[in-house]
Amino acid sequence: MIATPHTDATLKASLPLAGYRILDLTTFLSGPFCTQILADLGAEVVKVEAPEGDSSRAIPPHFVGDDSAYFLGANRNKKSLAIDMKHPEGLALVKRLIGEADVVVENFRPGVAGRIGLHIEALREAQPSLIWASISGFGQTGPWRDKPAYDMIVQALSGVMSLTGEPGRPAVRLGIPAGDMVAGMYAAIAINAALADRERHGAGRTIDVSMLDCQLAMLSYQSTYSLVAGVTPQPQGARHDSIPTYRSFTAGDGRELVVTANTERMWRGLCAALDLDELPGDQRFDSGSKRLASRDALWPLLEAAFLTRSAAEWIEPLTANGVPVALIKTVPEALTDAREAGRGMVISVEDETGNRADVVGNPIKFSGAVEAPATYPPALGADAHSVLGEWLACPTDEIGDLQDKGVLLSRAALTP
């Protein structure tokens, strides 16, 4: 199936990927996060799981019903099939589904898809419009292609961990799984680009996204500093390599806040707010380059000033003087703020059995789009009848036969 450009007035107001079918052969986080983005953008995403389910369904310690909170955070707005691809009829069923999909997303280790019988080039030869997106640790080519990779592995190998933490202290993993999630985001970007290209030229693409490559791309100016100047960037803590007034401070109540005084105007505003009016005229600090060179003399003066008030008391004077400032919030505080902001960034989803979970919503907003309420992440195999009926026109007795053979599991089949 190739989705055609939307012409119906209702579809014009819908989300931009409405009408596209995505077959999701992914597990854990990088792939599911990618396909959740596509689902949030309106695509129909069918998640194909092994009979035992995506392993992330069982990650402790928090559960809603039978499923882990970890799983619930990356699988909304999808449908689920549970198919045994080790069974010949299961593999044949997946190939039939591929024949009806616009995009296949998988995060097998390189070579695994071929070993289980999904030969990408053969599939695309039979279906030239197919877009196949592979997410792996180190890419489909290169000397490390066969090595296993997880989030912290690529954070370590990319240099990201060497930049994280306090100077002189051991390296620290980022508090979010950036190795997985950034790869998922880049894959979603590539898929959208491939869909746009297919609308013009008719042919699909084979996409190769490496978690390590994506982490390297996220090094930003730190990689350029290293390549251009031959330096080894060091951990920054809550500071900036180039701007000494772009950092966190501890206030008198022990709470932390950040200021980002990165222009001359903001520097003067910072001094005014802190009652340090003599500093702008101090020759050690009268330019950005001088402040950077003299940061060891500057920081104790700023730190002592911040200790004279509580963190909350600093917000108003800093803001009034044009200095960007923020308290360092806990996750619950940040989510409370998000609820109050009213931008749909904390949403509630509920299934038909009464399981309910609050999750973070879609950050991409389209003016005028008609967005249906988000659906609860699917129960394992819950959509066998609807998906196989709609995609493949499978009659009920064929679905029942596949269930009897153990090729296909569904929630109905698992219910006593």
Question: What amino acid positions are annotated as catalytic residues?
Answer: 180
CA distance 276 to 49: 62
Cα→Cα distances 300→295, 303, 318, 324, Å: 9, 5, 18, 20
Q: Phi, psi (5° rounding) for residue 258?
A: -120, 145
H/E/C letters for each residue in the chain?
CCCCCCCCHHHHCECCCCCCEEEEECCCCHHHHHHHHHHHCCCEEEEEECCCCCHHHHCCCCEECCEEHHHHCCCCCEEEEEECCCCHHHHHHHHHHHHCCCEEEECCCCCHHHHCCCCHHHHHHHCCCCEEEEEECCCCCCCCCCCCCCHHHHHHHHCCHHHCCCCCCCCCCCCCCHHHHHHHHHHHHHHHHHHHHHHHHCCCCEEEEEHHHHHHHCCCHHHHHHHHHCCCCCCCCCCCCCCCCEEEEECCCCCEEEEECCCHHHHHHHHHHCCCCCHHHCCCCCCHHHHHHCHHHHHHHHHHHHCCCCHHHHHHHHHHCCCCEEECCCHHHHHHHHHHHCCCCEEEEECCCCCEEEEECCCCCCCCCECCCCCCCCCCCCCHHHHHHHHHCCCHHHHHHHHHCCCEECHHHHCC
Going by C-alpha positions, the residue among 403, 394, 263, 253 that lies closest to residue 323 is 263
What is the rounded radius of gyration, in angstroms, for the C-alpha atoms of the chain?
26
Is the distance from CB of 106 to CB of 49 less than 8 angstroms?
no
Q: Phi, psi (5° rounding) for residue 126?
A: -75, -25
Q: Phi, psi (5° rounding) for residue 248?
A: -95, 155
